[in-house]
Chain A
Amino acid sequence: MVSVEITPYLDINLDSEMWVCSTCNGDLIECSSNYKIGCSVAERDPSEIHHSEIDTDYKFSPDSNWCKIIEFYCPHCGAMIENEYLPLGHPITHDIDIDVDQLRKIVSEDPGDLRIKS
């Protein structure tokens, strides 16, 4: 098995071509897809994270009518892989779209600074 560390919480397994949770080694989804599709997803009210002592129209937390925090967890262990602050209903961002063929080529020829897990 050859896995490459892409983020602190995500590896790409080049054998299975899967996104893998680096906390528990659980598979998420094919690495050609947005890893978020393989996550467990939750909508959080900003006030659950950002405390405000006042409840005026403008306060010390984002406006929950305008945006929510979308959290992406590993469905196996619950590690939070990523989150996004989005206006209600806005599409989820496909933030990491690796050229896997090129990655495989580099790993086989000269991995350089890539961190390989065998």
Chain B
Amino acid sequence: MLDYGAIQISMREWIRTEPATDHEIEQASKIQPGMYEVYSNKLDVALDEARTVFVRTGVSAFLRAGDLVVGLHNAKGDLVCASCGTYIHAAIAQLPIKYIIDLYIKGDSNVKVKPGDIFYTNEALVGGLHNPDQIAMMPIFFEGELIAWSSAAVHQQETGAIEPGGMPQTATSRHDEGMRLTPIKIAENYEIRDDLMDMMVNFISRAPQMQEIDVRARCTATDKLRQRVQELAQEIGPDCVHGLFRKMIDAAESGARARISSWTDGVYRSVAFVDTTGNDETLLKVALAVHKKGDSIHLDFTGTSPECEGSYNTYGHGVAAFLATYLYPYVFHDLPVSTGTLTPFTFEVPDGSLLNAGHEKAVCNCVYLGRSVISLCFDAFTRLLYSTDPSRAVAAPSSHSGGGSFKGINNIGWPISESFSFTLNTDGQGARHDKDGMNAHGFFYSPWGKTNNLEDFEEHGIFLGLTRRHFNDAHGFGKYRGGVGTQNMNVVISGPVEVTSRGKGSRIPHDNGVFGGYASTSLPGISIIGSDALDLLENEVDFPVSVRELVVDRSISGDYKFERINRSNRTLETGDIWITLSSGGGGFGDPLERDPNSVLSDLNNDLISNWTARNVYHVHIKNGKLDLNKTKELRSNELQSRLHRGTNYNDFSNNWSKKSPPIPVSTF
């Protein structure tokens, strides 16, 4: 019988590297100068090859966008290196492998691990984050000895849950989330089993072809890497492979510890607030204190709200995955993607909190809660890093955007369940210490991913894209501004189609700016029901392609709806318009210090409004021309206004502490 409590404890322990054996240490010491560089690079190339195979053999939007990972693990399951894709699975793909080792190699089970096997799971409790994450894992044998594992993971849009799209906003328990497979042996003797494939396709009957093709893509990627590792073992011998793996993990750890040692000791804190459980409005808190001492870091999430009744919860091991998503692209971008880099980190995550929910809780929207954790990491670590390494100090990227999914019948008659990938992959990056954040830089869970082309999206024959462009004024302002997000407006040309959208922050944002930079703004979920857009297009009547202009101008007629950005499943008909928005990153530094020429440039590029130039940046622009003298006067006046506006801390606190929001912050 599954012991859920024991599994949850094991998962948090298995994040860490398994102790090195004497054999590994001995073999690592025999790696000659030059060998390490040549063969570790060879493994990186093999991983990149497997990732390319993965992308080219799959079909769903996440997969085609490259939001995936292929991992190479040692025989004990620890991640040696990976090719990303998304870093989020890099930290946790080893967990289901350790689960398999614990149960089926060390344990007393009639399931055995043999050459040619491929295991498959999407159970978040044993290592994914939520059940859209499907992972294939393949043991790699050489001359009868288990020497390694390969893994391939990517988010699948459909899970057979109570709503299409895999992340139902109305889920309140695991029983609403659809298929959840603990690791099964989907392939034996290098062949995928038809019975288990049929079982999965039956679960995912909203998009059966996509499920089957993408399962095969995962398995193909693991098998491609298996071939390359066996070739390496043939070339250098299995003992040398063990030594190489050990050395790679140890190099990652020593590199991480050396970097951490150079930072300033102290405690760095941040808080973020989540205004939805999925189905309802609420006020949840995520708190982080980063305790940095010497070459180690302890992350304490005490103060985080209790688990909620919706689906914005995560299991405890998810915290490491969210941390990895921040660390690898920004702080450890020049270190290996390996379990070794996470070894200096320890975690304190209160039991029963949002970040360490019980096994019955719904976690399908955990990635939006995770976005809060990641924002906190940007916020706290930037304060930690600035004094010694400002080049790595970055404000939080956009984290409450409204990507979503749709379910319909495509132009060749297939039922499909797909993602509004453009919005997801065009968030704005946070501002940096010496430059603006990158506009529409991508999906921060997957910095290597790319948004799909409009043609790929329209090819389904369900939507016609009306707008895909930068979304002005939604980013965080500052001396350096956050990267700008996007607006994505689509009209249904072949209804009905079921849609949903996800996100948070329509009441309170938390893509914090740093050092006086502002956060990005809140966003609504907008749709236009019964629009005449198709008639206007047919008659070649022009209309605004800016959402901000359109909601004022209303030259497309219809019923304009303004809701929370996360909207539960509903059906759209032909002519209805569905709008998704991605916000921008947080700002960096006092907006009064922004170069007035940059403000003018932003205005000319339609990234900010006249209102923002005047009221936030206090820059005087008239008839498209910058008046520097007037700007200097305006900014001097604003500095004086601040001094008049501000009060001393104690007076402020006395007044502030008497106020309360409409919903109290959820606490234990």
A interface residues (Cβ-Cβ under 8 A, vs B): 4-9, 36-43, 46, 48-51, 53-54, 56-63, 65-67, 69-71, 73, 75, 77-99, 102-103, 106, 112-115
Given A37-B649, A41-B652, the answer on whether A82 and B266 have CB atoms closer than 8 Å is no
Contact B387 A87 (CB under 8 A): no
Residue from the list B273, B524, B551, B661 in contact with A89, Cβ < 8 A: B661
- What are 26 A-B residue pairs whose CB atoms fall within 8 Å in the complex? A6-B386, A8-B386, A8-B479, A42-B645, A48-B615, A50-B521, A56-B524, A59-B524, A62-B522, A63-B506, A66-B283, A66-B661, A77-B639, A78-B639, A80-B516, A85-B509, A88-B659, A89-B656, A89-B659, A93-B269, A95-B268, A98-B265, A99-B266, A102-B266, A103-B265, A113-B389
Given A8-B589, A81-B515, the answer on whether A54 and B562 have CB atoms closer than 8 Å is yes
Contact B562 A57 (CB under 8 A): yes
Contact A89 B522 (CB under 8 A): no
Contact B659 A98 (CB under 8 A): no
Write out, one digit per residue, whether chain B residues 457-479 have a CB within 8 A of any chain A CB (1) or not (0).
00000000000000001100101
Residue from the list A7, A8, A94, A114 in contact with B388, Cβ < 8 A: A114
Q: Any chain A CB within 8 A of the CB of B548? A: yes
Contact A53 B552 (CB under 8 A): yes
Residue from the list B386, B387, B646 in contact with A75, Cβ < 8 A: B646
Nearest CB of A to B303, in Å: 10
Q: Any chain A CB within 8 A of the CB of B640? A: yes
| A67: chain B residues within 8 A (beta carbon) | 273, 507-508, 661
Contact B508 A87 (CB under 8 A): yes
Q: CA A16 – CA B262 in complex, angstroms?
A: 25
Nearest CB of A to B269, in Å: 5
Q: Any chain A CB within 8 A of the CB of B539? A: no
Given A8-B589, A50-B522, A65-B662, the answer on whether A102 and B649 have CB atoms closer than 8 Å is no
Nearest CB of B to A63, in Å: 4
Knowing that A42-B645, A42-B646, A73-B642 touch, tell me 11 more A-B residue pairs with CB under 8 angstroms: A7-B383, A7-B386, A46-B522, A49-B477, A58-B562, A60-B524, A62-B508, A63-B522, A70-B656, A78-B640, A97-B269
Contact B507 A94 (CB under 8 A): no
Q: Any chain A CB within 8 A of the CB of B52? A: no
Write out, one digit per residue, whether chain B residues 519-543 have a CB within 8 A of any chain A CB (1) or not (0).
1011111000000000000000000
> Which of B477, B514, B652, B663 has the most A CB atoms < 10 Å from its CB?
B652
B interface residues (Cβ-Cβ under 8 A, vs A): 262, 264-271, 273, 275, 283, 293, 379-380, 383, 386-389, 433, 473-474, 477, 479, 506-510, 512-519, 521-525, 548, 551-552, 562-565, 589-592, 609, 611-612, 615-616, 638-640, 642-643, 645-650, 652-653, 656-663, 665
| B519: chain A residues within 8 A (beta carbon) | 85
| B474: chain A residues within 8 A (beta carbon) | 60
> Which of B262, B507, B562 has the most A CB atoms < 10 Å from its CB?
B507
Given A8-B589, A41-B648, A95-B380, the answer on whether A60 and B262 have CB atoms closer than 8 Å is no
Residue from the list B508, B525, B658 in contact with A58, Cβ < 8 A: B525
Contact A73 B643 (CB under 8 A): yes
Contact A8 B551 (CB under 8 A): no
Contact B649 A38 (CB under 8 A): yes
Contact A96 B388 (CB under 8 A): no
Q: CA A9 – CA B517 in complex, angstroms?
A: 12
| B516: chain A residues within 8 A (beta carbon) | 9, 79-83
Residue from the list B283, B507, B551, B652 in contact with A43, Cβ < 8 A: B652
Question: Which 5 A/B pairs are nearest by Cβ-Cβ distance?
Answer: A40-B646, A78-B639, A58-B524, A80-B516, A88-B659
Residue from the list B507, B514, B650 in contact with A63, Cβ < 8 A: B507
| B265: chain A residues within 8 A (beta carbon) | 98-99, 102-103
Q: CA A84 – CA B515 in complex, angstroms?
A: 10
| A4: chain B residues within 8 A (beta carbon) | 387
| B270: chain A residues within 8 A (beta carbon) | 93, 95
Closest B residue to A99 by beta carbon equals B265
Q: CA A88 – CA B8 in complex, angstroms?
A: 36
| A90: chain B residues within 8 A (beta carbon) | 271, 665
Contact B659 A36 (CB under 8 A): no
Contact B266 A97 (CB under 8 A): yes
Contact A54 B518 (CB under 8 A): no
| A97: chain B residues within 8 A (beta carbon) | 266-269
Contact B271 A93 (CB under 8 A): yes
Q: CA A82 – CA B649 in complex, angstroms?
A: 14
Given A50-B473, A53-B552, A93-B270, the answer on whether A40 and B643 have CB atoms closer than 8 Å is yes
Closest A residue to B581 by beta carbon equals A60
| A9: chain B residues within 8 A (beta carbon) | 515-516, 589-590
Contact A114 B264 (CB under 8 A): yes
| A93: chain B residues within 8 A (beta carbon) | 269-271
Given A50-B473, A53-B552, the answer on whether A89 and B525 have CB atoms closer than 8 Å is no
> Which of B262, B508, B563, B648 has the most A CB atoms < 10 Å from its CB?
B508
Q: CA A82 – CA B341 in complex, angstroms?
A: 31
Closest B residue to A8 by beta carbon equals B515
Contact A7 B275 (CB under 8 A): no
Closest A residue to B506 by beta carbon equals A58
> Which of B525, B611, B658, B661 has the most A CB atoms < 10 Å from its CB?
B661
| A61: chain B residues within 8 A (beta carbon) | 521-522
Closest A residue to B610 by beta carbon equals A51
Q: CA A40 – CA B640 in complex, angstroms?
A: 12
Residue from the list B293, B645, B649 in contact with A36, Cβ < 8 A: B649
> Which of A40, A54, A85 has the most B CB atoms < 10 Å from its CB?
A85
Q: CA A96 – CA B292 in complex, angstroms?
A: 12
Q: CA A81 – CA B479 in complex, angstroms?
A: 12
| A102: chain B residues within 8 A (beta carbon) | 264-266
| A62: chain B residues within 8 A (beta carbon) | 507-509, 521-522
Q: CA A99 – CA B611 in complex, angstroms?
A: 42
Q: CA A98 – CA B379 in complex, angstroms?
A: 15
Contact A53 B548 (CB under 8 A): yes
